[in-house]
Structure 1
Amino acid sequence: MHPLGNVEPMRAIVYSETGPSSVLRLVEREVPTPGPGELRVRLSRAGVNPTDWKARAGGTYAALPYDEITPGQDGAGVVDAVGEGVLGFGVGDRVWVLLAQHGRAHGTAAEHVVVPAEKAVHLPVGASFDLGAALGVPAITAHRALTSGDVDRLEPGALAGRTVLVAGGAGAVGNAAIQLARWAGATVISTVSSDEKAALAIAAGAHQTVNYRVGDAVAEVKALAPDGVDLVVEVAPAVNNDLDREVLRVHGTVAIYANNGGDEMTLPLRATFSKNLRYQFVLLYTLAPELLRTAAEDVAAAVEAGALRVGDEVGVPLHHYPLEQAGAAHDAVEQGAVGKVLIDLD
Structure 2
Amino acid sequence: MKAIIHRDHGGPDVLQLVDRDLPVPGPGEVRVRIAVSGINPTDLQARSGPARTKQFSEVTPHLDGAGVIDAVGAGVDRGRVGQRVWLYLVAAGRPTGTAAEYTVVPGELAVPLPDEAGFDVGAALGVPAMTAHRALTVAEDGPRRLRPGALDGAVVLAAGGAGAVGHAVIQLARWAGATVISTVSGPEKARLAAAAGAHHVVDYREGDPAAKIRRIAPDGVDLVAEVALGVNLALDLAVLRARGTIATYANEGGRPVELDVTRHLVLNTRLQFLVLYTAGPQVRAAAAEDVAAALRDGALPVGEEHGLPLTRFPLHRTADAHRAVESGTVGKVVVDM
**What range is the shorter-chain TM-score in?**
over 0.9
- Report whether the alignment pairs 1:301 with 2:293: yes
Choose from 46, 54, 62 the match for 1:72: 62
1:265 maps to a residue whose letter is V
The correspondence of residues 195-274 of structure 1 with structure 2, limited to 5 A, is 195-262=187-254, 264-274=256-266
- Could you list the per-position Cα deviations for residues 290-309 of structure 1 after superposition, in whole angstroms to 9, with x for gaps in the alignment? 11011001100111000111
Is the Cα–Cα contact under 8 Å of residues 82 and 89 in structure 1 kept in the other structure? no
Provide, for residues 230-250 of structure 1, a one-character-per-residue CA deviation record: whole Å limited to 9, x for no partner.
Answer: 000000001111111111101
Correspondent of 1:50 among 37, 41, 44:
41
* 1:159 equivalent in alignment to 2:130: no
Q: 2:276 aligns with which of 278, 284, 289?
A: 284
Identity of aligned residues (%): 58
Give the letter for the 1:68 counterpart: E
Contact 2:162–2:189 under 8 Å retained in 1: yes
Could you say which residue in structure 2 is the equivalent of 1:36? 27
- Residues 231 and 255 in structure 2, CA contact (< 8 A), matched pair in contact too: no
- Give the Cα separation in 1 of the matches to 2:320 and 2:206: 33
Quote the Cα distance in structure 2 between the aligned partners of 1:58 and 1:153.
34
Corresponding residue pairs, total: 335
Q: 78-87 or 197-206, which moves further after superposition? A: 78-87
Rounded Cα–Cα distance in structure 2 between residues aligned with 1:89 and 1:263: 50
> Following the alignment from structure 1 to structure 2, what is the Cα–Cα distance between the partners of residues 88 and 317?
36
Instruction: Compute the displacement of 1:339 (Å).
Output: 1.1
8 Å contact from structure 2 (residues 72, 78) kept in 1: no
1:135-171 Cα shifts (integer Å, max 9, x gaps): 0010000000011112111111100100000000000
**Mind listing any 5+ residue stretches in structure 1 that lack a counterpart?**
1-9
| SS of residue matched to 1:274 | helix
Runs of 4+ that moved beyond 4 A: none
- Which runs of 5 or more structure 2 residues have no equivalent in the other structure? none
SS in 2 for 1:160: coil
For normalisation by structure 2, the TM-score amounts to 0.97
Query: What are the Cα deviations for residues 169-193 of structure 1, in whole angstroms up to 9, with x where unaligned?
Result: 0000000000010000100001100
Match of 1:329 in 2: 321
Q: Distance in 1 between matches of 2:52 and 2:298?
A: 41
CA RMSD of aligned residues (A): 1.1
* AA of the residue aligned to 1:136: G
Question: 1:62 offset after TM fit, Å?
Answer: 2.5
Question: Take 1:47 and 1:15, find their aligned partners in 2: how far apart are those partners?
Answer: 17
Report deviation, 1:263: 5.7
What is the alpha-carbon distance in structure 2 between the residues aligned to residue 14 and residue 206 of structure 1?
Answer: 38
Deviations 1:37-90 (A, max 9, x none): 11110000000110111111126x633110011100001000011011124851
